[in-house]
Amino acid sequence: MVVASSIPQLSSGAVGFPIIDLSLDRSHVSNLMVKACEDFGFFKVINHGVPKLVIDGMEKEGLNFFSKTDLEKRSVGLLKPLGYGSKNIGFNGDMGDVEYLLLHANSQSISQASKSISKNSAQFCSTVNYYTQAVKKLACEILELIAEGLWVHDKYAFSRYIRDIDSDSLIRINYYPSCIDSAAPVHQSHGIGFGEHSDPQILTILHSNEVGGFQVALHDGTWVAVPPDSMGFNVIVGDLMQAFTNGRFKSARHRALANTTGSESRISIIYFGAPPMHAMVYPIPEVVKHMHHSLYRPFTWDEFKKTTYSLRLGDQRLDLFKVL
Ligand SMILES: C=C1C[C@]23C[C@@]1(O)CC[C@H]2[C@@]12CC[C@H](O)[C@@](C)(C(=O)O1)[C@H]2[C@@H]3C(=O)O
Ligand SMILES: O=C(O)CCC(=O)C(=O)O
Ligand SMILES: [Fe+2]
């Protein structure tokens, strides 16, 4: 990746995704974000203001959890799809070389979940809460900058959904064991940690340790590796943002490769910013005005989420909401 205001081409001919420095001038940053969302549906932010201590604490709790025995991990008593999972992704047969912990991102749910996740539940709870609050704040700032860059007159047009007390946002920790860690021989691994997909929510904020494997697809379908950087956060446009912007932004298809060669395990911590279940989603009038008609019919997040869970990971679920 290269810090720049345009789309940099690396010498190899590969694309470097935009890196946006949040300490720069606000209107410059908001324009860069809109361009990045249009060109890639993806960018990295640096100088984001989330303290390293908060990130390290969260990562440590994650590693501590995944180091437990199978029995201990499987005893996390949360209703599916929340809780602990290993290899299975969703309900429709998708598989990957990944273990995960999926939680609701509100403090009451985190507090409740902590009791079955950690013996030191108070510490787990406060660590996850600190992280979630900090990353939610970052997500809101980014959404407000994007609204400004799009000249939407209500700068809270997107962020209000995830600021809402009933927001259905999630927090997920994915653990990709190194082949040395893994019980399965390397030749049995199919190479995929988390298969190709777009995220259904509004915006995703992804952090990972210094182990590679995360990839994003360009609009033409070419896969590009995202170099790991534990100092930055990856920002991914979700399906709802595509609907809000009437297709001006496209949700980014991404995947994580399994760790088949390295000796280190990869851990990623992901915040998915989502609206409340009852919230209506429809293209915002300012964007439609320039494009003449709405590409998508209005729908609730509840309806979209149900559709998402009835489909496979890689399906293009937003197509089902297109106006014909
Ligand atoms: C196969 C599936 C897993 C998923 C729900 C789905 O039916 C399709 C989307 C998947 C996804 C991708 C982004 C997030 O990781 C996630 C929690 C979400 O909201 O949609 C997962 C779902 C999951 O793992 O439960
Ligand atoms: O773990 C990663 O790096 C990506 C996983 C992902 O895209 C997801 O959980 O939705
Ligand atoms: Fe994802």
24 found inside a domain: yes
pLDDT digits (tens, 9 = 90+) for 152-210: 999 999 999 999 999 999 999 999 998 766 555 544 556 899 999 999 999 999 999 99
* Residue of 172, 248, 253, 266 marked active site: 266
In this structure, are strands 42-46 and 18-21 parallel, antiparallel, or unpaired? parallel
Of the bound ligands, which one is closest to the alpha carbon of residue 251?
3
29 found inside a domain: yes
Of the bound ligands, which one is closest to the alpha carbon of residue 317?
1
7 found inside a domain: no
165 found inside a domain: yes
pLDDT digits (tens, 9 = 90+) for 50-76: 999 999 999 999 999 999 999 999 999
- H helices present in the chain, as ranges: 26-39, 52-66, 70-74, 107-117, 121-149, 159-163, 239-244, 285-291, 301-310
pLDDT digits (tens, 9 = 90+) for 274-317: 999 999 999 998 888 777 799 999 999 999 999 999 999 999 99
ipTM rounded to 2 decimals? 0.99
* Cα 161 from Cα 150, distance rounded (Å): 17
Measured from the CA of 274, which atom of ligand 1 is nearest? 19
Residue 4: predicted pLDDT: 41
* Cα 173 from Cα 63, distance rounded (Å): 9
Q: How far is the CA of 82 from the centre of ligand 1 (A)?
A: 10
Residue 143: predicted pLDDT: 98
pLDDT digits (tens, 9 = 90+) for 222-271: 999 999 999 999 999 999 999 999 999 999 999 999 987 778 999 999 99
Q: Which residue has the higher pLDDT, 33 or 182?
A: 33
Burial state string for 242-279 with b = 16 or more CB within 10 A and e = fewer than 16: bbbbbbbbbbbbbbbbbbbeeeebbbbbbbbbbbbeeb
**Nearest protein Cα to ligand 2, atom 4:** 256
Measuring CA to CA, which residue among 15, 12, 32 is closest to residue 23? 32
CATH code of 190's domain: 2.60.120.330
Active site residue 266: yes
**Nearest protein Cα to ligand 1, atom 3:** 90
Orientation angle between helical segments 121-149 and 107-117, nearest 10 degrees: 140
Using an 8 Å Cβ cutoff, are 224 and 14 in contact? yes
Say which amino acid occupies 183: A
pLDDT digits (tens, 9 = 90+) for 104-144: 999 999 999 999 999 999 999 999 999 999 999 999 999 99
Number of domains in the chain: 1
Mutate to test the pocket of ligand 1, among 99, 100, 199 (most ligand atoms within 8 A of CB): 199
Print the domain residue range for 186: 17-313
Of the bound ligands, which one is closest to the alpha carbon of residue 309?
1
12 found inside a domain: no
Rounded to whole angstroms, what are the CA distances from 174 to 20, 59, 134?
25, 10, 19
Q: How far is the CA of 266 from the centre of ligand 1 (A)?
A: 19
296 found inside a domain: yes
Average pLDDT for the chain:
93
Burial state string for 290-314 with b = 16 or more CB within 10 A and e = fewer than 16: eeeebbbeebebeebbebbeebebe
CA dihedral (167, 54, 207, 143) positive or negative: positive
2 found inside a domain: no
289 found inside a domain: yes
φ/ψ of 135, rounded to 5, equals -75, -30
Tell me the percentage of the chain whose pLDDT exceeds 90: 86
